[in-house]
């Protein structure tokens, strides 16, 4: 998936902006995400930690769940903003894979520099998906 420079920059700016809203008092690792739906709409999410660690919510899943709650089902790209350009966790990769292995994933640092560009499929090879449920 190729993004125009303008759209790419807008997604990066939105991910960086929402990263500032992250609630990460325990890890101190703030994350923001900006998700581009096929409709052209952009959805954002920020990391929300909880003292009961397993119930925390990642920025990527937050953005995807918001988009799905608005009726979106197809996505073109997601930008993940962290302090060091970190990669999405396994849970986020699995959720992203549900909506397409070709989705573009840009990982940017706190200055907006793209540290890595990939697809969901490359980040989660041999993923488990809807087709696996029908195999017998």
Q: Express each pLDDT in 64-98 by its tens digit.
A: 999 999 999 999 999 999 999 999 999 999 999 99
Residue range 5-33: mean pLDDT, rounded: 98
Confidence band (pLDDT; 50, 70, 90) for 136?
low
Structure tokens at 99: 């909506």
Q: Which domain holds residue 47?
A: 5-133
Contact 102, 77 (CB under 8 A): no
Structure tokens at 60: 């990527």
Q: Residue 52 pLDDT > 80, yes or no? A: yes
The kind and range of the H/E element at 5 are helix 5-19
Rounded to the nearest 5°, which phi and psi values hold at 62?
-60, -45
**Which is the catalytic residue, given 41, 49, 60, 72?**
60
83 as an active site residue: the answer is no
**Exposure of 126 by Cβ count < 10 A (0-12 exposed, 13-18 middle, 19+ buried)?**
exposed
To the question of pTM greater than 0.75 for the whole model, the response is yes
Q: What is the pLDDT of residue 131?
A: 85
Q: What is the pLDDT of residue 135?
A: 58
Q: Residue 121 pLDDT > 80, yes or no? A: yes
Residue range 114-118: mean pLDDT, rounded: 98
CATH number of the domain within which 115 lies = 3.40.140.10
Q: What is the pLDDT of residue 44?
A: 98
Residue range 104-121: mean pLDDT, rounded: 98
Q: What is the pLDDT of residue 1?
A: 74
How many domains does the chain divide into?
A: 1
Rounded to the nearest 5°, which phi and psi values hold at 105?
-125, 120
Q: Residue 134 pLDDT > 80, yes or no? A: no
């Amino acid at each position: 998936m190729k993004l125009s420079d303008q759209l790419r920059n807008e997604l990066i700016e939105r991910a960086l902006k929402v990263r500032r809203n992250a609630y990460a008092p325990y890890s101190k690792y703030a994350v923001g995400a900006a998700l581009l739906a096929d409709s052209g709409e952009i959805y954002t999410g920020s990391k929300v930690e909880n003292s009961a660690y397993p119930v925390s919510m990642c920025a990527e899943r937050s953005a995807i769940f918001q988009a799905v709650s608005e009726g979106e089902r197809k996505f073109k790209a997601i930008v993940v903003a962290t302090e060091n350009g970190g990669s999405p966790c396994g849970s986020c990769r699995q959720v992203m894979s549900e909506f397409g292995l070709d989705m573009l994933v840009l990982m940017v640092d706190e200055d907006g520099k793209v540290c890595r560009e990939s697809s969901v499929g490359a980040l989660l090879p041999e993923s488990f998906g809807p087709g696996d449920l029908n195999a017998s």
